[in-house]
Structures are given as C-alpha cells and as structure tokens.
Amino acid sequence: MLRLHHWRAPRAFAALALGAVAACQAPPAGPVTPAPTAQQMPAQTVHHSARLRELMQRMNAMLYERNQTELEIDKQRLDRARELAAAAATLAHEASVIGPPGAADASAREDFTHHAHALANAAAELDALAAARRYSELSPQMERVAHVCADCHLRFRVRAP
C-alpha cells in the first residue's frame, strides 16, 4: 500500500512548527498585549519553553535526515514525540499556574488559561499516540501542538529570551 499521505502530514507539520518558531522571533504588527521581558518570565518557564522549541526543531530536522533508515527514523520520531509531549505538558502546567504576562485583564487571563489547557490536551494526546506507536498520527498531532504554540505566541507575544 502506497502511503502518499505519509509525507503530506510531515510537510504540514514542518510548516506549522517553523511558523511557531517564526512567531517566537517575529512579533506581528499592531496593538497587542505588552510583551514580557525575560525577567518577567520565571526561569523554569523560560527553560521549558526553550526545551519545547528545541525539540520541535529536532523533529523538524529529522524530516531532512538522509542517512538513517526509515525504521530508525520512526523510532527516533517516537522518542522525540514523547519528549516533546512531556515538555509541552510541563510548560502548560506552569503557564496555567503563572498566568498571562504583564498586567492582563480578566479576559486575557481567561484566554491565556484556555491556551494552557489546550496545550496540555494536545500534549496528552500526542503522548498517547506515541505510546500506542501510531506513527502516522504523530505528525498531525504535533501540528496541533504547534498550532497552540503559534496561537498563544501571536496572542501574547511571548518572546524567547
């Protein structure tokens, strides 16, 4: 069975992951919630946010891997997916405890909490898929994680230190 869709999902994921990274680096124009500085972000959150970004980058790099066999790449994607899920879940937990950056109003706080929950959900689902070795579903799920990251970053302009 020829699985042409196999590479479509990774492509979409790569685009979204890169979009999420770009969102961290290039804030959009227009009036938005003031960006927090590195001093305003707890060290742990900075650490886990960087870790999540790093894991997404590594997942993305694996799409270009030329030397490993595809079976080996699958295994490594699985391991990275579980690491990524754990990092995302930890970050979601910390975000929900800390709340939005700066002097946010009630609506912003609610929206921020909503994003944290969405990230926790996406992370839990990703881990469940990885635990079940459902390789073909990993990329679409990571796409959802990347969606939540990009959405939250665009909304709250959390910049990497």
Partner 1 sequence: MNAPRAARRGVLVALTALAATVSPAHAQEDGDELATLRAEVARLAARVAELEARLAATSSRPDAAAPTVAAAEPAPSPDTPAASTTATAQTRALAATAPASPAPTALPAGRTPDGSPPPGPRVSVGGRVKLDVVFNDRSRGSGSVGDTLLSPGAIALDGAGEDDQLDFSARASRLWVKAWQATPYGDAGAYLELDLLGDGGDARISNGYGVRLRHAYGELGGLLFGQTYSTFVNVGALPELNDDGITAGGLNVRQPLLRYTQPLGGGALQFALESPESTITARDGRRLTPDDDRLPDIVLRYQREGRFGQWSLATMARELRIDQGAGGARDAVLGAAASLAGEWRLGLADGLRFTAVGGNAVGRYLSFNAFDGARLTARGTLRATPMAGGSVSWQHLWSSHWRSNLTAGYAWADDHEAPANVNVELYTVHANLLWSPLASTTLGVEWIHAWRRQVDGHGARLNRLQFSAVHKF
Q: Which of residues 97-126 bind partner 1 (CB under 8 A)?
A: 97, 107-108, 110-111, 113-118, 120-126
User: With contacts defined by CB under 8 A, how many residues of the chain interact with partner 1?
Assistant: 75
Near partner 1 by CB under 8 A: residue from 41, 77, 101, 144: 144
Residue 133 touching partner 1 (CB under 8 A): yes
How near is the Cβ of 25 to partner 1 at its closest, in Å? 10
Here's the x/- map for partner 1, 57-96, by CB under 8 A: it reads as x--x--xx-xxxxxxx-x-------x--xx--xx-xx--x
As a whole number of angstroms, the distance between CA 119 and CA 157 comes to: 16
CA-nearest of 124, 69, 131 to 91 is 124
As a whole number of angstroms, the distance between CA 65 and CA 63 comes to: 6
Question: What Å distances lie between residue 18 and 57, 73, 157, CA to CA?
Answer: 8, 20, 16
How near is the Cβ of 80 to partner 1 at its closest, in Å? 10
Where do we find the tokens 């707890």? 42
As a whole number of angstroms, the distance between CA 148 and CA 69 comes to: 31
Residue 154 touching partner 1 (CB under 8 A): yes
Nearer CB in complex with partner 1: 37/97: 97
Nearer CB in complex with partner 1: 46/108: 108
Nearer CB in complex with partner 1: 127/159: 127
Residue 46 touching partner 1 (CB under 8 A): no
CA-nearest of 134, 158, 146 to 60 is 146
Q: How many other β-carbons are positioned within 10 Å of the β-carbon of residue 56?
A: 25
